[in-house]
Every structure is written in structure tokens, then in C-alpha cells.
Amino acid sequence: MSTSENIRPVEQVTVAPLANIVERQQIWSRMAAKYGVENPVPPWKSSLDGICDALDRGGCGPEVLSFVDRRNEEDTLSATVYSTLPYPENQLVSLAHSLVARGVIDETELQHRLAGIRSRLQAG
Amino acid sequence: MSEHEHDHDHDRTAAPMVDEITDFEVLEIALRELCIEKGLFTVEDHRRFTEFAEHIGPTPAAHMVARAWLDPEFKKLVLADAIAASREVGVDWLEPTGFGTPSDFTALHVLEDTPTLHHVIVCALCSCYPRPILGNSPEWYRTPNYRRRLVRWPRQVLAEFGLYLPEDVAIRVEDSNQKHRFMVMPVRPEGTEDWDEDQLAAILTRDCLIGVAVPKVGVTTNAITDTRPAIHPVQH
């Protein structure tokens, strides 16, 4: 939204790998209930907080997504494209969406990485 | 091991875990790896920020207010220089992560309630919050619904949290920003006259320190609030 190459509103950008994730709805409340787990938030939440803080204030690389843009887009995307996801799933997916929409992460690259990580985690 | 010959008590084994790899877990790892590979931050940055996110919570803020209720001199310090007072409860406000990262936590103000004035904090712009001393913000604090409506209809929004303030109590909404963060010092409730700091800190819940609740004898948990989507979401 704030970069010149990204003219379309962020919620009009389609990110296919993220749409697939939404469709499968492996949200924490459902998974926790399925396995009898009582943690109110998923185990990846603090690591996501770490990513957000590192992007906001890490300072070792170029600023690709400002704090205010990140939060505004999270609000917009959570109310539109990802309105079926609860928090913090909507926070995670919105962050990925913002990074793809800005061209920081390429959609195909993300797709390959997701497949690679899943096969790595399932190898054991 | 096919038979239960091993020597342990099943009632004391680890809590159940989600034994399935979820898409969200995979996505979080993918984002982290790609950001690190692209040089947006380092593994070390990420580890330290994650540890920061895991260890912060409302305990230091609760103790700061409890101590202020007990010690008039400390209360003066809290109101005059909250950053100095936060050091007394173990929080270095100016460098909360403790590893030299430039911090945007530059100012902290504690808002003192009186019997006729009640404070409540919000961040109308995004979700700025006094994280080093109060922990991560609750989900509802981040929502556009709370942020927009609290500013317009504070009495109504507080009532949705179960806090019904008499008409003769004025409500002041303090809007946070990236540099200035706030927390509330509620009025010490009756029935706590001979309590010590730990007892007082136990009723100073996160919600009381945000201002969507007031401390009450016997209440040590936060309100459970349904998060509602905004009725008029952002239009571009």
C-alpha cells in the first residue's frame, strides 16, 4: 500500500498458498480441542511475536514493512480476506500476505518453502 | 515397549500435545527462515525477541502499583518518574530487551485514578501498549472495534467489560503512541487495609492496569471478552 510498485489495495492481492491454508482451517482452537490441549494460544505465537518485533526494530536490514503499515494491513486483511480466521492465525497470515504483496517474498518461493518445511517436519 | 512394565505414574506424565503438523506452524517457520535468509533480521535477533515476548507479563506493573499503595514516597516516584519506578520492580524501560536494541519505549506515564476520575488506555492508531511492564496486549486491545469505540463511547465499552461506572465518575481515555505508553493506577479498594504487597498485587490484574476493570477483593482474573468484528470495517 505504501510502496510505488504495489498500487492495488493489499486486500485485492491474491496469495494462493495462503488461500489454501485458510481453506484447510487447521486453527488452534480446533486442533487443541481435537487433541485435548488446553493452551490458549498456539506454540508458534511467541516466535511470531519475535518475527514482528525483529521486523519492527531489528535494524540490521532495510525496513521492508513499517510497524504502522504492518498493523494497518493486519487490521484490513483480518476484516476482509482472512475474516474467517481467528487471532493469532489472522496475524500470521496477514504478515505473510503483506510481505508477498510487497514483493519481499515471492509467492512461488513461499509455496516451495512451505512444501519443503512440511516434508522436513514429517520426515522424522 | 508393549506392556506397561515401565516405572512411571501416568497421572504425572506430560500434558497432551497437538500431534499433527499444522499449516500455520509450517507458515511461521517459512516466514522466519525467508526473512533471515533475506537479511531482514538475524537468527540471534529473532531468538532474543522471542525470549522477550515469552518472559514479559503483568507482574511488574501489578507490584509497582501495589507498592505505591503501601508506600507514599514510592507513589510519588511512580507518578513523577515511572521509568525510575519501573527499575524498582525489575524493568529497564529504556532497554527492555536487554541486548542493546534501539528501543521505542521512551516514555511511560502512570495515570492515577481518584474516586471521581477513572482512566483507561487505548492505542487508537494501532496497538501500542506498555509491553515491558504489562506483557503482551490482549487480543481485544488490538481490535479496531475496541480502539474506535472506546474513544467515542467509553462508558458503553467499559460496561461491555462488566465495569459500570457511576455517572459522577469522569472517564479519561488516554491514547498511546509509539513513544508514549501509559498504565493505570486504580483506587485501592476497601477491605485491603492490612494487606501486604503480594496480596495487593494479586488483585491488580492486567485489566485493572489497562482500566477496563477495577480491583476487587477476591477477583484475581481478567474478564473474558468476546472479540467482535468492527461493524463498519476500514474501507479503502
- Of A96-110, B77-91, B133-147, least confident by mean pLDDT is B133-147
Strand partners, B181: B108
B112 three-state secondary structure: strand
* Interface test mutation site (partner A, options B23, B45, B125, B227, max chain A beta carbons within 10 A): B23
Cell of A20: 489454501
- pLDDT tens string A86-106: 999 999 999 999 999 999 999
Smallest Cβ–Cβ distance between B23 and the set A24, A46, A113 belongs to A24
CA distance A75 to B30: 22
Give me the active site residues of B, please.
123, 126-128
CA distance B143 to chain A (A): 7
- Of B36-40, B96-100, B223-227, B231-235, least confident by mean pLDDT is B231-235
Return left, alpha or beta for B90; rule: phi > 0 is left, psi -120 to 50 is alpha, else beta.
Answer: left
Q: What are phi and psi of B121, to 5 degrees?
A: -105, 155
What pLDDT is attached to residue B233? 52
Amino acid (1-letter code) at residue A56:
D
B198 three-state secondary structure: helix
Q: Which among A35-44, A57-66, B77-86 has the top mean pLDDT?
A: B77-86
Does pLDDT of B174 surpass 60? yes
Which one, of A1, A111, A54, A69, lies nearest residue B38 by Cα? A54
pTM: 0.84
Does pLDDT of B2 surpass 90? no
What pLDDT is attached to residue B95? 80
pLDDT, greater one: A19 or B16:
A19
What pLDDT is attached to residue B223? 78
Contact A18, B5 (CB under 8 A): no
Chain A residues touching residue B38 (CB < 8 angstroms)? 61, 104-105
Q: Count of CB atoms within 10 A of residue B53's CB?
A: 21
pLDDT, greater one: B143 or B177:
B143
For helices A107-123 and A16-24, angle between their N-to-C axes, nearest 10 degrees:
40
Burial B12-42 (b: 16+ CB within 10 A, else e): eeeeeebeeebbbbbbbbbbbebbbeeebbe
Contact A45, B139 (CB under 8 A): no
Which one, of B171, B68, B192, B57, lies nearest residue B121 by Cα? B171
Nearest CA in chain A to B143: A75
Chain B residues touching residue A27 (CB < 8 angstroms)? 24
Contact call for B50 and A26, based on CB within 8 A: no
Put simply, the chain A residues between 95 and 114 with a CB less than 8 A from any chain B CB are: 95-96, 99, 104-105, 109-110, 113-114
- pLDDT tens string A21-37: 999 999 999 999 999 98
CA distance B156 to A57: 36
Please report the sign of the dihedral spanned by the C-alpha atoms of residue B172, residue B176, residue B107, residue B87.
positive
CA distance A104 to chain B (A): 8
Q: Position of cell 517457520? A: B29
What pLDDT is attached to residue B138? 92
ipTM reported for the complex, 2 dp: 0.93
